[in-house]
Amino acid sequence: MRDLNEIQCFVRAVELKSLTAAAKSLDLPKSSVSRKIRNLEAQLGMTLLVRTTRALSLTDAGRSFFEKSARALKEIENAVETLDGSRQTVEGTLRITAPMVFATGQFNDIVVSFMDKYPKIKIDLVLTERVVDLIAENFDLAFRIGELADSTLIAKKLISIDASVVASPRYLKNHGTPKTLADLDKHEFILFSPNEVPIKKWSMKGLTGKKDLMPRGRLNINHILSVKEAAIRGSGLALLPNYMITNEVKNNELKVVLPNWMAKGNPIHLVFPGQKFVSPKMREFIDHVTKNFS
């Protein structure tokens, strides 16, 4: 059986991208970490890491071994937490990643209420449009929007993002309020362009069925929060997720146009690595999100 200490040194060095940082994290001399990784490579009969003066890089064999080893070490850690009665207290750090659109709105209420419920919890939240490798980058959970590619991750669907056409009171005063879906052709939209490609068609659902909306406009923005800000300032109509506009509608900064028509958007999933032993902090957070994400 391989020495778990050697495997832990290897995994930590990859996660932190540095032998020095791994040694500090494990409270070991750098020479010990380096020696343990060399011993592991010698036992396996293959090179796992390519070391230079500036960086560490994984070989193909190293990448495969890392993914499986990191997952196994995580399960061992969770198993110890589960068996140790004193660890049933919900405590520790949760590393979570989510899209930038979660920067405002009700998502923050969910995070804060969870931390209020469990005072020993610490949350590291990273907002990014990049699809984070949860195992390689040592994250516990991720919120992802849209259909998911096949993977070994566990995915829990939360809700679908419905969206409404909105505009500021000033814009509607100056340009008139659309009464029908056809009236939207007379107005300009603030176009949302994720990945710098504008969305050309929205499928709208109303009391009379489904119709496609083909928005036109001169202003393209690649960040949905900036689309909302531009709408508040009267730059045009915008199609915005309902969860993002709750406070703005309440405060009369935005008005819903054609409230009987709504766009059915992408689903939101909570994803996390598959594991036999789920730590109390993860189990409680998953339950909390599931109950409150509506």
Q: Do domains 90-160+267-292 and 161-264 have the same CATH topology?
A: yes
Is a pLDDT exceeding 70 seen at residue 43? Answer: yes
Task: Calculate what percentage of the chain has a pLDDT beyond 70.
Answer: 93
Candidate from 202-206, 246-250, 268-272, 281-285 with smallest mean pLDDT: 202-206
Is a pLDDT exceeding 70 seen at residue 81? Answer: no
DSSP, res 237:
B
pLDDT digits (tens, 9 = 90+) for 211-238: 888 888 899 998 888 999 999 999 999 9
Higher local confidence (pLDDT), 182 or 277: 182
Q: Both tokens of residue 123?
A: 């949350």
Please report, as a single letter, which amino acid is at residue 110: I
Domain ranges of the chain: 4-83, 90-160+267-292, 161-264
CATH of 161-264, one of 3.40.50.1820, 3.20.20.370, 3.90.1300.10, 3.40.190.290: 3.40.190.290
Query: Which CATH superfamily includes the segment(s) 90-160+267-292?
Result: Periplasmic binding protein-like II (3.40.190.10)
Is a pLDDT exceeding 70 seen at residue 86? Answer: no
Taking the C-alpha atoms of residue 32 and residue 250, their distance in angstroms, rounded to an integer, is 60
Is a pLDDT exceeding 70 seen at residue 173? Answer: yes
DSSP-derived 3-state class of residue 92: strand
Q: What would the CATH number be for the domain defined by 4-83?
A: 1.10.10.10
Higher local confidence (pLDDT), 261 or 107: 261
pLDDT number for residue 294: 65
Q: What is the mean pLDDT of residues 257-279?
A: 84
Taking the C-alpha atoms of residue 124 and residue 287, their distance in angstroms, rounded to an integer, is 19
pLDDT digits (tens, 9 = 90+) for 189-211: 999 887 666 677 788 888 888 88
pLDDT number for residue 242: 86
pLDDT number for residue 273: 86
Q: What is the mean pLDDT of residues 175-199?
A: 85
> First vs last Cα of the chain: how many Å apart?
47
